[in-house]
Structure formats: C-alpha cells, structure tokens
Amino acid sequence: MMKTKTIQHVTAEQLLAEYKEGTSFFLASPHRTLLAQGIFATVPTDGYEHKRMQILDHVKKVLQDAKQQGINGNPIVVGAIPFDHMYPAQLIVPSEVKWSGPLPFGQWNGQIGQNAANEYEVKPVPSPQEYENAVEQGLSRIKAGDLRKVVLSRSLHLASSEKIDVPHLLRKLAVHNPNGYTFAAALPDREAGKASGTKKNRTLLGASPELLVSKSGLRVIANPLAGSAPRSEDPEEDQRRANALFSSAKDRHEHAVVIEAVANALRPFCKTLSVPEEPSLIHTETMWHLSTVISGELSSPSITSLELALALHPTPAVCGTPTPLAKKAIQEIESFERGFFTGMVGWCDDEGDGEWIVAIRCAEVEDYSLRLFAGAGVVEGSTPKGELAETSAKFRTMLQAIGLNNGILK
C-alpha cells in the first residue's frame, strides 16, 4: 500500500493553487493552511446518533491502522460531519498531507480575476414569505415556553448552464475572508452505488467565521459567535451598526445562551476554563458578530479535538436551546434537509490535536449547481422581517464569491 506523505516546506499560496476539486481537502485558518489529497483510508460513519463513542473508536482504529501500514509522520483524519447525526459523515485519512503558514492575503488585492460570466437560475427554498412564517412558528414555541432559542435556516438553489469553477470560488473566498476559516471538502457522490456511469463531484465550500473548537496538547479554545448585524459600506453607518449590535439586549441574550451551553459542554473535559464576562465584536467582509473566546486546560492529553467537537455539536449558535427540543423544532419547521450546513469541517491527528470549524457561510456545489445556506437565531424579541434580513446578509459571503449580489433575493 502507498505510504502517506506529510510535506511542510511549501507556501500557503502553493497549497491553494494545488487544490483540485473532488480529490482534495483544504482548510485555511488565521494560523495555518492545510491541503490533504487522495484517500488512504475511509472512516465508517453511517448514522451515529447516540453512538459518538463509536465514531471516536472508528477514527482511533483507522489512524492506528494507517500508522502500522507505513504512514510517514502523524496520520490525520480530515472531512465533514453533518448537522444531523442520523446522516453519515465524510471522514478520511488522506494519502498526502501538506501544511503551511497562513495565507498572505494583503498582497493579493486586485490579483483575483473575475468569475466566468455564468448565468444562474435562482430558486429560494423556502420562499421569503414561507421563511417569515417559519420564524413566526419558532416565536410561538418560544412564547409557549418550549424553547429559549431556535435557529431557522433557508437556502438558495442556483443552477448554471456552465460547470461551477470550484477552485476559483475557493480562491475568492480565501482572499475576501482573511480572518476566517476557508474550506473545501469533497463529499460523496449522491449517485454512488447507482448504475449512472457518471461520477459527479460534490463539494462543501465556504468561509466560516466560527471556530467550534481547537486542541493543541492540553490547550483547548472555542470561539462561539451569536448575535449578528450586516455591515455597511458607509464607515459611520457601519460603526453605528456595530455599536447597536453590542448594546442590543436581544442579541446579548442570544449570545449568552450560546456561551453558557458551550462552557457547560467543555467543563467536564477541563481542569481550568476561562469564560470572559463580556463578548467582543468581530467582523467579516459582510457581517458584524458578537464573539467570545473560551479557553481552557484539558484534564487529560488523551482527550481528542474530535471528541470535544462531538460533545459541542450542535451548539445553540446553529441549533437552539434546549438542544433536543430545538432540533425537533427544526425538523418540523424547516422545509429542506440541511445536510452538512451547520455541521462541522476539520481535522484531528493521532495525538488528538486538531481544529473543527462550524460549517456556515457555505454552499454545496455539484457540477452545474450550488445550494447556498443561511440561518438566524430566533429568540424572544426576534421579528420575521429582521431574521429574513439577517439571512439575506449572510448569503452575501457566497454570493460575492460567485459574482452575484443580494438583488437576486428580491
């Protein structure tokens, strides 16, 4: 069997240039860049609801087997895990791994060419009116006392007569989101196992602002985001929106619910845990967010980043609270299957170190089509029109990379 190679003496720009649709996993963070290619082994993960220890056992065994079969250096697992644990994840041990430092974004200004002039047919699922009705349903359940928060999402289905240029979209996302986590993960062909005779490339592609969890040695960091406002091109208006978000009782409440849940999930694994009393403001090119960096020291080096990620997933930032009731409400209210949206993307090595990102500001790309996703947290004080506007703003990350604007939403 071919040995897996780990290569470190390459630039981040080279890794981005070497990305190939259908055969690569790419993740650029503010600290490092990872390109994984080929498949050395696949982790069995079919439907693991209530079986989180089982998936951890599978990952441990596959990594041990890979090392015994001649992997050079520390083997890693990379891939994506869906929002709903009833669906299979996509986790592999790659045959080649390349690492580098962060991408040097500043020098690329103006160097990324325009997209091909693709024309798209756009279909919102659900429609804007149906989404507002969904938010009303969520607010009714909150008023009844069943829920404190529920995250409700919508999608845009885009169809083109030309094949989607995934490497170009990835490059545009990376350049325009230097403070976030740009990713591309190959997904299984929907037609796998069928006698279609043609393999379709399917990719989860995005630029998320949110770190679910990272682990290095005994050090653990989580950076949940909750509470958002769209950016403005006018500097004064942009600052006004940031100040309004920071002082918003509704958004501060939404944020506090998430921080409480994340801290409670991490505490059983930690010797110490630091949770700031006040959130901070961070921004992407399109959004302001309330952010809290939670850090701690793990009680044992045997705890892995994937174990922490599975304990946290899904957080109230993408699901709601109480989590079981919010998840049930989402299944009953939302009119589409989320798939890997609001799941997680990342890596874990055989020493347990790793980094897992919340799969938001993303799209599922399949040859000639894209499915874009956006969600908003519904809490007491939310309004249907407000949540519709928030999701429209969150679509902008992917729409700008594609070369479209929010005008298609009207």
Q: Which residues are known to be catalytic?
A: 149, 210
Structure tokens at 11: 């630039």
CA gap 400, 250 in Å, rounded: 29
SS3 230: strand
Query: 215 with 304: CB under 8 angstroms?
Result: yes
**Alpha helices (runs of H) in 294-383, residue ranges in sequence order:** 305-312, 323-333
Please list, in sequence order, all residues whose beta carbon lies within 8 angstroms of the beta carbon of residue 7, skipping any fewer than 6 positions away: 96, 97, 98, 99
At 134, give phi and psi (nearest 5°). -65, -40
Query: 283 with 289: CB under 8 angstroms?
Result: yes
Identify which of 320, 312, 306, 319 has the alpha carbon closest to the alpha carbon of residue 294: 312
**Alpha helices (runs of H) in 19-164, residue ranges in sequence order:** 52-68, 128-143
Structure tokens at 296: 């701690």
- For residue 188, the 8-state DSSP code is -
CA gap 385, 133 in Å, rounded: 10
Looking at the DSSP bridge assignments, the partners of residue 121 are 159
Query: 231 with 287: CB under 8 angstroms?
Result: yes
Place of tokens 């209210």: 333
CA gap 301, 333 in Å, rounded: 41
Q: Could you tell me whether strands 354-358 and 202-208 are parallel, antiparallel, or unpaired per DSSP bridges? A: unpaired
CA gap 303, 299 in Å, rounded: 8
CA gap 172, 345 in Å, rounded: 19
Strand arrangement, sheet containing 354-358: 41-42, 90-93, 76-81, 344-349, 354-358, 211-216, 219-223, 294-298, 270-274
